[in-house]
């Protein structure tokens, strides 16, 4: 069980700006690492009591470039130590849409995992390098994107992709998490096909 820190930009004129709009701009302008520092500090500062009292993990979306930054590692260590949060309760989430030299990235991932932090591959199934990422990067969690999950019970092309993904992930040692499970039949399907997987669901039980 865990919580995920999600960042939104609130502008007085434009309202709430989603991350898929401003994150690419931050990457382009070279300020993405500053945002990651802010999210780490803000999320741990606000959620440390919940994390420690209930022993749940905190997921934080980071950029692959953060893992190459000694300043980011030092900042993460400092903030987590300040609030006595064990590294094992912090998961750093990467998306496969991010570009990086996989061999070098694998070395950096190994460094964070050796320190006790968990590494998760987010939005799996939406990029173009699934097999490369899985074969070259050792991660703790694989989160399948909601666009794949939503195809359950439909005739969309994503249904075939979902079956391939299930076959691929069934033999993985990483924890598999399906995002965006909002219907009971989706949850039943996944529990039958890949029982060891977890789901992030928004299903409301009947009163």
Domains defined along the chain, listed by start: 2-144 (3.20.20.450)
pLDDT at 205: 43
Burial of 109 (0-12, 13-18, 19+ CB in 10 A): buried
Mean pLDDT, consecutive 10-residue stretches, the chain (207 aa), reads 84 86 88 94 93 91 93 97 96 78 90 96 73 81 85 69 77 83 86 78 46
The CA-atom distances, in angstroms, between 164 and each of 133, 157, 160, 167, 198 are 16, 11, 6, 5, 18
- Which among 29, 24, 26, 60 has a CA at the least distance from the CA of 42? 60
Buried b (16+ CB within 10 A) or exposed e, 29-40: eeebbebbbebb
Maximum Cα interatomic distance, the chain, rounded to a whole number of Å: 51
């Amino acid at each position: 069980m865990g919580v995920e820190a999600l960042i939104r930009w609130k502008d007085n004129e434009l309202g709430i700006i989603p991350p898929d709009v401003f994150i690419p701009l931050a990457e382009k302008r070279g300020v993405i690492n500053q945002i990651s520092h802010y999210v780490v500090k803000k999320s741990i500062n606000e959620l440390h009591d919940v994390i420690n009292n209930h022993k749940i993990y905190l997921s934080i979306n980071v950029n692959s470039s953060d893992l190459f930054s000694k300043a980011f590692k030092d900042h993460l260590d400092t903030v987590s130590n300040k609030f006595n949060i064990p590294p094992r309760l912090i998961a750093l989430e990467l998306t496969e849409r991010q570009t990086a030299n996989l061999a070098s990235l694998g070395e950096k991932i190994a460094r964070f995992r050796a320190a006790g932090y968990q590494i998760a591959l987010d939005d799996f199934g939406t990029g173009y390098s699934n097999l490369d990422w899985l074969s070259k990067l050792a991660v703790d969690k694989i989160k399948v994107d909601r666009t794949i999950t939503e195809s359950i019970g439909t005739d969309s092309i994503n249904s075939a992709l979902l079956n391939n993904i299930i076959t691929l992930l069934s033999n993985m040692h990483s924890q598999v998490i399906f995002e965006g499970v909002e219907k009971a039949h989706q949850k039943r399907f996944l529990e039958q096909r890949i029982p060891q997987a977890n789901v992030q669901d928004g299903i409301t039980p009947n009163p």
